[in-house]
Amino acid sequence: MRLFVAVLPPVEALQDLADAVAPVRGLPGADRLRWTTADAWHLTLAFFGEVPADRVTELEAALAEVAEAHPAHTLRLAGGGRFGDRVLWAGVEGQDWALRRIAEAVYRATAAVVGETDAFSFHPHLTLARAGSSRGRRRAEQRLAAAELDALARALDGYRGPEWEAAELHLMRSEQGGGPVRYTSLCSLPLARWEAGPP
């Protein structure tokens, strides 16, 4: 199974972001992107790739230990940005340092189950849209695509969504083929209820 760990924003936060993104989708260049839908929006903390089905119980146990050791925290979706000429995203504000701590802990706790991953790199974000592959495109086309993504990201500069509590982790399954990628939560793991301290 293709698995990852995520935090799922509440419906109210997703709807607020969807309302802010709607006019952005009408800007120049937006029609050339593959836009994700609000029901698929999430904040990825760790991506595992293919995991044998018989290791999932082990994986859930490791994630439960991480959840018990880290508190719920306050976040909001805010602003926007891009990764190269390929991805447009919404950012995260608030106790986003808590997300980083959890992501680091998830990678450490699950290494024995899913294997060592590449060097840890985490940038909290919610993917809004993707462009086609950069391969085969000329540099001029890549620069144009990056400039268009910049303009779309700038349109979200002033966006600040409502605050919400990130109170659980989800072990998610990603299924591809026959249309958009489908995401299913295999289990939810409540975070601890003690107060989060500073970074």
Is residue 128 helix, strand or coil? strand
pLDDT tens sequence across 69-96: 999 999 999 999 999 888 999 999 999 9
Residue of 70, 73, 125, 170 marked active site = 125
What's the rounded Cα separation, in Å, for the pair 128 and 19? 13
- For the chain, what percent of residues have pLDDT higher than 90? 73
Percentage of residues in the chain with pLDDT exceeding 70? 88
142/134 Cα distance (integer angstroms): 7
Least confident of 17-21, 88-92, 190-194: 190-194
Give the Cα separation of 67 and 104 in Å (integer).
12
Reported as a single tens digit per residue, the pLDDT across 128-165 is 999 876 555 666 566 767 888 999 999 999 999 999 99
- Least-confidence region, from 48-52, 53-57, 130-134: 130-134
CA–centroid distance for 198 within its chain: 22
With beta carbons less than 8 A apart as the criterion, state whether 46 and 110 touch. yes
Which CATH code of 2.40.40.20, 2.60.120.380, 3.90.1140.10, 3.10.450.50 fits the domain covering 2-190?
3.90.1140.10
For residue 160, the 8-state DSSP code is B
Question: Could you tell me which residues are beta bridge partners of residue 175?
Answer: 182
Q: CB neighbours (10 Å) of residue 108? A: 12
Please say whether the dihedral angle defined by the alpha carbons of residues 168, 65, 53 and 119, taken in this order, is positive or negative. Answer: positive
Length of the chain: 199
Q: In the predicted model, is pLDDT for residue 175 greater than 80? A: yes
Catalytic one among 42, 70, 73, 170? 42
- In the annotation, is 123 catalytic? no
For range 18-38, the mean pLDDT: 94
Bigger pLDDT: 103 or 145?
103
HSE (side-chain half, CA atoms, 13 Å) at 135: 1
Residue 120 has pLDDT above 70, yes or no: no
Q: Count of CB atoms within 10 A of residue 37's CB? A: 9
Distances 189 to 43, 61, 160, 177, 198 between C-alpha atoms, Å: 15, 10, 27, 28, 23
